[in-house]
Structure 1
């Protein structure tokens, strides 16, 4: 049933997937309040010490459709079974799909994960944990290129770096940022730098790689919408398999809403969250009356979005 649900989801979203796909990987924590099967104590910043699930999700970076999701115990690391998950996601995509890039944070990665994308000839950008070894590697670098020279200063360099667990060197982009500050009207240039490291197999300047990676952050908004709007974090059963099916069904309704916005809404409304849509179009005063054995919904005259809602209804009918 789970595989059929995933296939049905791809049938719904396929018409709106771009020609070149970007896979954005992330995980989230779903706290449970009981002894649900598979729930374990793991990293849980919101409810430390509580049992939880740790779903793994992948979104398409431009359309924001969720391409795949799997439920895991709460004590599972972000990267656990990530390669198998990536393989399943690629299998779900229509034949001939062009996966161009993959993006992920420092919870993922490692030699096998990087090698997987390299063997598939898919470009990737992944955040690296900042370590003393990385700090030592840049300590002798004196030729930083400055990209932004305003209130926030941004500089970057590129290293060919090999972590202790890697089998070969890889390209690593280092970005450092600092705020300017004044003292006695003299500009001080001894900045307090904040460093970020990104491993990649892509060409491009450090600032371009960094900006491309930062677009990954929008996946967190998509997960927030799936949670707050469609309750994927609400655990419905004590059975692990049932809870995973429940999550996939809720993700399917998330996709139906995304398709509805793209097919039936004006551009100004396509960025609405489900909460905003409910507030503007569904939470409206009205009365249901019966006349000649026909139920009629009479909406309050003060409803300012009546014409827009009627246009949406017409477009829905035209889809048939």
Structure 2
């Protein structure tokens, strides 16, 4: 396997890790505006991810940095062609982060409620836009012989892309509901479990349609196994959730996220950005990659740094592993 193939796998792994961890963050953000009945319950939900949400975003920064260094042509075409959606994602992530930090700075009801609304809307928008972006990347966009995207915003809003956005929104909200049931106590825990059941069924319909569409378009045998894993993981997550086995439900909902993202990258390979204008103009892992020496240096950096990041983040989750309930919320 060539170094550029290895770095495609590494970048795919970083995105899998990001969506596995940040996926339930987005889900909790959406549920804070739909599942929670009052201020105390919103605080409970937000506190389940309070110690870890910023650490989860390290995976996004790593994925972006790795793409910039390993596949500069992919990075340039992606960020120029997807400028508006990626800008909206960036702004929403910034506002969401500020909302987490500033929400409790004042005791005013309107102050706190407005920041809580920002968490809800920014989580919803980002969860939708990530699906929209990746659906376009996998399906292909107009790229010319100079590897520049020639289409406009309307080219990114096709039926498949919109379905992909709705699929990730439902998938992350389902993942977040399972996480909420795992991390909370009392009535909100029971309601999160019930919500997970309904969201799981909706996810099965929408995400299932999106994955089947992806598989039908790509005809890629490699991604077929990932689709099968996703179907089995969703069924197992729903069964574990119905039985009250919240730990297993979270493991299987996480596996569902992993298999779904893996399906997209397996369907994409060996392209990194297909051209819908002419397949010969597509960006591939070979023609979009950096020089072998650059990839070799990056590989050594990844080997040294990755275990430290994973161990530290694992330790953080272990420290904050206990459940949270309204009885833990100060007046």
TM-score between both structures, scaled by the size of structure 2: 0.26
Question: Bigger radius of gyration, 1 or 2?
Answer: 1
Q: Which structure ranks higher in relative contact order (CA pairs < 8 Å, sequence separation ≥ 6)?
A: 2
- In terms of fraction of residues, the more helix-rich structure is 2
TM-score between both structures, scaled by the size of structure 1: 0.27
